[in-house]
Structure 1
Amino acid sequence: MEFAEVVRRRRMIRNYTDEPVDPAVIDRLLTHAIHAPSAGFSQGWSFLRLDTPSDVRRFWEASTPPGEGTDAWSEGMRRAPVIIVPLSCKRAYLDRYAAADKGWTDRDESRWPVPYWDIDTGMAALLMLLTAVDEGLGACFFGIPPERIPAFRTTFGVPADYTPIGAITIGHRAPDRRSPSLKRGRRALDDVVHRGHWGNASTS
């Protein structure tokens, strides 16, 4: 598939069949993920691969608030046979930038204008979403409720210095309703691109 077509087709898929996904495809998704850019080549990410019915079930049990998970959205999502959880590690970045070639030995977080550990892990997640499209699969990135993160950590033995930035369901697409959010439409380039100066005011 041409890259432009992959980008055009990418959207969040919330309804899946129960058809298994070839493990080799998941290998390719993860291989592409580690080619994402990272500040200082810190690569402070890890990926929890859940691709057995037992692990997928345990994920939903750990990450879903009590009393939730019975709506149509959840039913479609829970049929996905694979979940990848991208995790970021701030420590890896602070360690890397305290090295001799960087010299931030004070490890002061205020040096960082934004949390690159989360941004870089997010870019790795996007590569997985695009790879899923290229492989003819559907995928959806979604958040784990903050109050459920402790249960998620305990269930899967995730170290305290790794933070899940979200989770990605992966599977074969089933027919689904268009998300109500799509009714908003995609913003035009002229609405989001500011060339040379923000807004229409001229500069002198």
Structure 2
Amino acid sequence: MEFDEVVRRRRMIREYDPERPVPPELIDKIVRHGLRAPSAGFSQGWSFLVLSEPADRELYWSVTASPEFEAGGWLERMRTAPLIVVALSNKSVYLDRYAEKDKGWTDRDESRWPVPYWDVDTGFAALLMHLTAVNEGLGSCFFGIPPVRIPDFRAAFGVPAEFNPVGVLSVGYRRDDKLSPSLKRGHRPVDEVVHHGRWAPAAEA
């Protein structure tokens, strides 16, 4: 698929065919493409928990889903995904990397960082996985784990404390699921969000 077509077709898919597992070779390709993402200092302070076995996926949903989720709603439909990839960042890897001789931030002061690049870079990697899924004719959705559920998630899967779940990708063969009501908002006009040379105020209505 041409890259322009991948970008055009990309959207968040919330319902999948539960009878069609993602082939192992595609799982491997999706994950390996994510590892090609850029990272500050080539720190690569990320890890990915891949859940393709039914028991693992059921455990994931049992420890992360909010008990008041709407029956028939998007979260229940997401459970049909045959593949879940949890993207986790590790801040300490970045602090260690930038304390090395060629960087010299031996004080490990987090105020040197304008934004948490460990999370940004992990998001880049997740986006590459998401786009790879689209390119392979699959659907995918990126979403988060509710903060109150993170301790249970860590305990269930033995995730060390230094790894922070930045987000989750569900992946599978898409069904023609309901469009998100959010899509009715449409894309913001280019001249409202892109500024050339200097910041241009939005035109008054």
TM-score (norm 1): 0.96
Match of 1:7 in 2: 7
Match of 1:68 in 2: 69
Match of 2:150 in 1: 149
| Separation in structure 2 between the aligned mates of residue 55 and residue 69 of structure 1, nearest angstrom | 22
Q: List structure 1 segments (4+ residues) > 6 angstroms apart after TM superposition.
A: none
Match of 1:196 in 2: 197
- Identity level (%): 63
Question: 5+ residue gaps in structure 2?
Answer: none
- Report deviation, 1:68: 2.8
Match of 2:16 in 1: 16
Match of 2:31 in 1: 30
| Separation in structure 1 between the aligned mates of residue 87 and residue 70 of structure 2, nearest angstrom | 22
- Report deviation, 1:166: 1.1
5 Å matches for 1:1-204?
1-18=1-18, 19-68=20-69, 70-200=71-201
**Count of residues paired in the alignment:** 201
| Separation in structure 2 between the aligned mates of residue 31 and residue 94 of structure 1, nearest angstrom | 24
1:47 aligns to what SS in structure 2? strand
| Separation in structure 2 between the aligned mates of residue 107 and residue 74 of structure 1, nearest angstrom | 39
TM-score (norm 2): 0.95
- Report deviation, 1:145: 0.1
Change over 3 Å in CA distance of 1:69–1:83 after alignment to 2 = farther
Cα contact 2:69–2:76 (8 A) shared by 1 = no
| Separation in structure 2 between the aligned mates of residue 69 and residue 85 of structure 1, nearest angstrom | 23
| Separation in structure 1 between the aligned mates of residue 71 and residue 47 of structure 2, nearest angstrom | 30
C-alpha RMSD of the superposition: 1.2
- Report deviation, 1:66: 2.6
Letter in 1 for 2:163: Y
